[in-house]
Structure 1
Amino acid sequence: MNRTTVRRSAAALALGLVAATAPAAVGASSATAAPYCGITWGSLPKSSAVSTLPAVTGVRAGRHACYDRLVIDHKGRATGFDVRYVSQITADGSGNVIPTRGGAKLQIITRGTRYAAPPAMPNVTGYTTFRQVVWAGFFEGQSTVGLGVRARLPFRAFTLYDSATNTSRLVVDVAHQW
């Protein structure tokens, strides 16, 4: 064998080893599944900057094909929030545990809010993911809502603002599954 033949044989051997150890093609069966309903949100905390002192005016819930939705209504522009999984929902100010049904708990804080009477919490009986919504209070410019969910599932949080009515909504969507 000459040098060129040896180089070509070595290259072919290397390519054969790479092909033999390469993962299966995308179209082939693999252990990695596609995201549920295309959801790629994850379950890590979500937050945004401080808001401009809106007042919480209501809390409501809705059901969708791939997720359950919680909406916190505000009078004024609300952009400051922090949403995360916690081990327990605690009352603002006192730190007392608020019993909340569900395998996991989301703490939803609206920052920079001014005091308003606690709104009624929606009944989420029969929802796929939600188990209970609780008011955790108002303290030092923030309002807190606790959300009991079936399990620690992916979620997203964002705000919507309507300049015509000067109202906004903090929206929290929790997927039905991973």
Structure 2
Amino acid sequence: MAAAGLVLTGVVAAAGPAAAAPYCGIRWGSLPERAGDLGPGSVRDVRAGRHACFDRLVVDVDGDAGGYVVSYVDVVRAPGSGARVPLRGGAALQVVVQVPTYDRVDGSATYDPADARELVDVAGYRTFRQAALAGSFEGTTDLGLGVRARLPFRAFVLDGPGDGSRVVVDVAHRW
């Protein structure tokens, strides 16, 4: 009888931790992510979308996006000047895309938003609170993404459509 009790106890103990599955299967973290180098393309547009488990920011690039650096920061700063970029939310992600918002040959703007402080309308989003253009300097573009709290995120580059590419940042709704 004692042996049966030991076996039963072992089964219950083993089942406990396995029952705690990650939210939506997400196994992302909140540490900085970096990939690639300076790319030959330029920013064309910034947009956002809502998904069942995360909010998504997409930076559309004409040509090759090169890479990105995405990290939580205390304060998002404008490149070059270092000026503070105010953001709504409990946490701030600095998103650096390795291409500029201007044509490298003639300096003309390839992306000129109507309001640099409100790149996309994120009203009703579960995680995003604000997306702002911090600036474009020395071939890179800095964005500030205000989020509800420090939550797991992932970043990656997708090819297309056509000759373009996209830098994507997903931020989970919760841990």
1:95 corresponds to which residue?
82
- State how 1:9-158 maps to structure 2 within 5 Å: 24-26=13-15, 29-30=16-17, 33-111=20-98, 113-116=99-102, 117=109, 118-120=111-113, 121-158=119-156
Task: Call closer, same or farther: CA 1:115–1:68 in 2, change over 3 Å.
Answer: closer
Look up the equivalent residue of 1:155 and give its one-letter code. F
In the alignment, structure 1 segments of 5+ residues that lack a partner are 1-15
Deviation larger for 126-135 or 114-123: 114-123
Return the alpha-carbon distance in structure 2 between the equivalents of residues 157 and 150 of structure 1.
Answer: 18
Task: Call closer, same or farther: CA 1:119–1:24 in 2, change over 3 Å.
Answer: farther
**Identity level (%):** 52
Helix, strand or coil at the partner of 2:136: strand
Number of aligned residue pairs:
160
Return the alpha-carbon distance in structure 2 between the equivalents of residues 148 and 97 of structure 1.
Answer: 13
Return the alpha-carbon distance in structure 1 between the equivalents of residues 96 and 73 of structure 2.
Answer: 12
1:12 corresponds to which residue?
none
Look up the equivalent residue of 1:139 and give its one-letter code. F
Cα deviation for residue 92 of structure 1 reads: 1.0
TM-score, L = length of structure 1: 0.81
Return the alpha-carbon distance in structure 1 between the equivalents of residues 140 and 173 of structure 2.
Answer: 28
2:106 corresponds to which residue?
none
Structure with higher Rg: it is: 1
Question: Superposition RMSD on alpha carbons, in Å?
Answer: 2.4
TM-score, L = length of structure 2: 0.83
Look up the equivalent residue of 2:127 and give its one-letter code. T
Segments of 4+ moved more than 2 angstroms: 19-23, 29-33, 117-120
Helix, strand or coil at the partner of 1:102: coil
In the alignment, structure 2 segments of 5+ residues that lack a partner are 1-5, 103-108, 114-118
